[in-house]
Structures are given as C-alpha cells and as structure tokens.
Structure 1
Amino acid sequence: MTATRFTAACVQMRSGRDALENRDAAVALVREAADKGADFVQTPEMTSLVERDRTSLFDKVGPEETDPTLSALREVAHERGIVVQIGSVAVKEGDKIANRAFLIGQDGGIIASYDKVHLFDVDLPNGESWRESATYTGGNKAVLAETPWGMLGMSICYDVRFAALYRALAEAGASFLSAPACFTKQTGEAHWHVLHRARAIETGSFMISAAQGGLHADGRETFGHSLIVDPWGRILAEAGTEPGVILAEIDTGLVADARGRIPTLKNARPFTVETASAAPAKRAASA
C-alpha cells in the first residue's frame, strides 16, 4: 500500500558562479533538511550554477555524466535514505545547454529527469532582458515521476505560467506538482504567490517549489520565497529571501478530498472557439 504522508522540504539557495561552492552549499542544506526530518527534499532551479555570461557558462558546465552536483546529491540521497529532487542543473547538449531537473530515489538512483519546456524570452520595463532560447534548448515532454507517496509532476520556473501543463500532469495522475525556480525579483513580487496558489487550486494538487533568493554574484536578483502550497491553495510553508530550509507535512490523501469538492478535472468538457463579427452598421435612409 502506498504511503500518503511525508515531510517535504524546500532548500532555498543563492547559487553563484562557482559550481563546486554551489555543490557544497546544496549538499549542506539537503543534509540539514534530512536532519530536520524531511523525507523529500527539493533544491531550486540552477542549483549548480547561476551565471548569465554565456561564454563563462559554457566553460563551466559539462555533460550530465560528469556534473558534480548531480553525483554529490545522489550520494546524499542514498546516505540519508531520502528522495531528492534537484530543481535543475545546467548540462551541455551539443551547442546549447539543457536546463534539467532530476528526481533521485532513496537508493541514489535517478528515477526521472525533465528538461524545462518553456523558455523565458522577455524585455522587462526596468531594462532587464532575458533570452533563454539563445543559450538553452527547450524540452518537449511533460514528466510524471513515481515516489513512495504518489506521483510527482515535474516542471521548472517559467513553466508555472502555462496552466495546461499542470492540468495534463494532474489528469495523468500527479498528486503533487513542482516548479523549482530562479524567478526574478520583479516578476516574483508580482506573480509568484498567485501562480502557485492558482496551479494548486486548479488541479487540486500540492505545489512544492524551492527557489533562488537574493543578489547573486552575476548581478541578478531573485525573489526567493520558496513555497509549499496545499490543494486548497493554502500556503503551508514559505521562505524569505535568505538561503535555508522550509518544511511542511504533506498528506496526499487530501488531494482526493479537494478534487471531490471541486471536480474541475472531471467536469472539463471539450469546446470549440467561435469568432463572431459585428454586422455592418446600417445607414439611416435619407429623406
């Protein structure tokens, strides 16, 4: 019988330009979470490296097989007997980089990986400009991964703005969803909380999202506020902007209750979109 109760933790980081320093920080925080009783620990997007200079980024990353953060956290998962979700690491894929998340089992084995589907290309009013598609290759598969407590729907950061992805994951069997992130401060202040609460409410699922927070060595400022949200949209745990660990008790049995009360997944119906045009205005008859 599948267990339904577990303790989830989000590790909030402020990753910099040194991959080995970031690895050591992640290992220490994941161990701290395990010491506090976490069964499932999630790290943020770009756990291994936050580096906006494209040339420097390519110099510092390699293929999945040699990534130091992935190998270290696989060891920690096995050592502590916990499930670890790496929000993402940067790994080389030809002439671009994959923004890739991993779910690691209690034995240290890789259960699943997920490449971020939606890429953040935007010009912000404050002058910031982001072109993820210039550096990163987007994924094309949604990923549902098995855990001891039910199915996890994996996503990364900007994906959280695309509701159809989470509906598809919930309809496929996900009880809890994740969007570990490196959200900018400006967009995070505007939308981070409401997006997470909306995705939880729409699907009747838990949302668990670790985040980067604070001013990074490469000059970017991220929002932080790692979140754990229940299927009713209530925030169970929230971080501030500093690195650290938050924890919450999860009962995936509450998912069936929430979906029973508001059965949007069952009640959805197919529809078409019809465009109606106004009839030309009639001219008044002349006398």
Structure 2
Amino acid sequence: MTTIKLALCQMDVIDNKEENLKKASSMIAQSVEENADFIILPEMFNCPYSNDKFIEYQEEEKDSPTLNRISSLARKNNVYILAGSIPEKENDNLFNTSYLFDRKGEIIAKHRKMHLFDIDVKDRITFKESDVLTAGDDFTIADTEFGKIGIGICYDIRFPELARIMVENNALALFYPGAFNMTTGPAHWELLFRARALDNQVFCIGVAPALNEDASYHSYGHSIITNPWGEVLAQAGLKEEIIISEIDLDEIKKIREELPLLKNKREDLYEVAKK
C-alpha cells in the first residue's frame, strides 16, 4: 500500500512577509507533529494577492529568503514541502512560481503558473495578473518516493488539457495551490477539483489561503482533497486551519480497473479531429 499523509496548510496571509513566514513555519511544525509526509502551502503564501504586492514582495530564486526558510524546514523535519507559490523574479520577468522540496531540502520541481488569471465578472470581480506577471511554459511532473505528481497553480485547474497531460505522464496526484475568490470559489472550486480528479482518476489537492476580510482580495479558502472517484475526502472552511489526511494511491489502480476511462479513450478519433 502506497500512502501519503498530507497536511494542507490553509494559512491567513497578511501584508507582512516575515509574519507570513513565521506562520508558515508554525503550521509546518504542527504538521510534522501530526507525522505528515507531504506538506502543502497556499498560492502566494508569503504575499498578499494583489499585483502591487507581487512587485513589492518579489524574490529571486538564488537568494530567496522564503525558499531558504522552506528548504531548511524540509531538511530539518525530513518532509516534502510544496511551497504553494511566491512572486519569483528572473531578469525582467515576474512569475507566480511553486517550488517542491524533498526531504533533504532540495528543490526537485518548480512550476510557473501557465494560465494567468485575467478575468472580468461584471460588477463582482476584475483581476488581470498579466499586468505584472509572465506566464510559464513548462509542464511540471515531479518524481517523489511515492510516485509521480503533477503541479499546477490556481487558474491552471480550469484547463483540463493540462491535467490530462500530467496524468498521461504518469502523475498519480495533482496539486494546485490556489486562491479562488468569493465569487468564483462558491461557484466552481469544489466542482473543478472533483471534475479533474474524476476525469483523470487521480487524487486532486487544492490549498488556499484563509479568508482575510481586511485584504483587498478575499480568498475563498476551502482547501480540498478529492479522490479518483470524484469524492471530496476533506475540505476546510473559510478560516485558518490545517487538514491532515492520508491518501492511498493504490485506489487509483482499483478504480481504473473498474471504470477504465483512460483505456477506453478513442485516440484514433481525437487525432483525426485535430487535423
């Protein structure tokens, strides 16, 4: 049996980087006490979710105080940590980037958000990440001791092609640090995680910041784990909390044998339709 004990750290992100890092460190420590193997932080866990703050809080990978802190904690506690995302600067570009650390504190994968959050829901919410951020171009499938995992960020989950490509490259679980808002969250957050898990018969995990009503952007929270049958195994509310939950990757084989969706795909027809 291949199991992973996950810790989803739904933290309250404020406008103070050092305090955010202290909170992340505290939640990691609590997760370690619960014997978690794999700890996940939210999208922009060190930074308020707004374009001006992305610029203010930006860090370069090679001398990032945030990444150095997380690396040290992964190594000290012998755990995997998916550092949700941070505003990462490279040359003149700014990216929304997630980093995966192994038990030795080494970066074994990084994902730059591929689909930028440019939306305008009339009279409700408008946001345009592309005003300051650059989109990433790489698919991110990481090798871990548990098997391969795929990584996306928030808005990336709305694009089923990305999830399918990660699964076709043998990812058994898909992780999406995210920060849906109080408009799109109630409407789509759970639906999307259940759909991506069901369509691809994998585990799908989302970790978001808690709702901070004093912030300019209101995160929906509701960090979530869905299984290959499309069921919700665990889900947070709006407030700060840690979800500790164990997933059994062997469930994937069982469900794919019972309902062989991936095997029954008509690739012959799809290829013809693309031409």
* Distance in 1, Cα, partners of 2:22 & 2:132: 26
Residue 51 of structure 1 deviates from its aligned partner by 4.3
In the alignment, does 2:208 pair up with 1:207? no
Whether the 8 Å contact between 2:152 and 2:176 is mirrored in structure 1 is yes
Q: Alpha carbons of 1:7 and 1:87: their partners in 2 closer, same or farther (altered >3 Å)?
A: same
Q: TM-score, normalised by structure 1?
A: 0.90
Give the counterpart letter for 1:151 in structure 2. K
Point out where structure 2 has 5 or more consecutive residues left out of the alignment.
none
Give the counterpart letter for 1:90 in structure 2. P
Percent of matched pairs sharing the same residue: 33
In the alignment, does 2:115 pair up with 1:125? no
Whether the 8 Å contact between 1:14 and 1:213 is mirrored in structure 2 is yes
Residue 242 of structure 1 deviates from its aligned partner by 1.2
Residue of 114, 134, 138 corresponding to 1:137: 134
Q: Alpha carbons of 1:57 and 1:171: their partners in 2 closer, same or farther (altered >3 Å)?
A: closer
Whether the 8 Å contact between 1:61 and 1:67 is mirrored in structure 2 is no
Residue of 231, 234, 244 corresponding to 2:231: 234
Whether the 8 Å contact between 2:51 and 2:132 is mirrored in structure 1 is no
1:152-167 matches, within 5 Å, as 152-167=149-164
Q: Alpha carbons of 1:74 and 1:124: their partners in 2 closer, same or farther (altered >3 Å)?
A: same
1:55-66 matches, within 5 Å, as 56-66=53-63
The equivalent of 2:109 in structure 1 is 112
In the alignment, does 2:186 pair up with 1:189? yes
Whether the 8 Å contact between 2:9 and 2:242 is mirrored in structure 1 is yes
The equivalent of 2:37 in structure 1 is 39
The equivalent of 2:7 in structure 1 is 9
Q: Secondary structure at the match of 1:10?
A: strand
Q: Deviations over 1:200-233 (max 9, x none)?
A: 0111101121111212544111100000111111
In the alignment, does 2:195 pair up with 1:198? yes
Residue 125 of structure 1 deviates from its aligned partner by 2.4
Point out where structure 1 has 5 or more consecutive residues left out of the alignment.
275-287
* Distance in 2, Cα, partners of 1:57 & 1:217: 18
Whether the 8 Å contact between 1:114 and 1:143 is mirrored in structure 2 is yes
Q: Secondary structure at the match of 1:213?
A: coil
Residue 109 of structure 1 deviates from its aligned partner by 0.7
Residue of 239, 243, 254 corresponding to 2:240: 243
* Distance in 2, Cα, partners of 1:12 & 1:72: 18
Whether the 8 Å contact between 2:120 and 2:126 is mirrored in structure 1 is yes
Whether the 8 Å contact between 1:203 and 1:259 is mirrored in structure 2 is no
Whether the 8 Å contact between 2:51 and 2:131 is mirrored in structure 1 is no
Give the counterpart letter for 1:189 in structure 2. P
Q: Secondary structure at the match of 2:177?
A: coil
* Distance in 2, Cα, partners of 1:31 & 1:208: 21
Residue 273 of structure 1 deviates from its aligned partner by 4.5
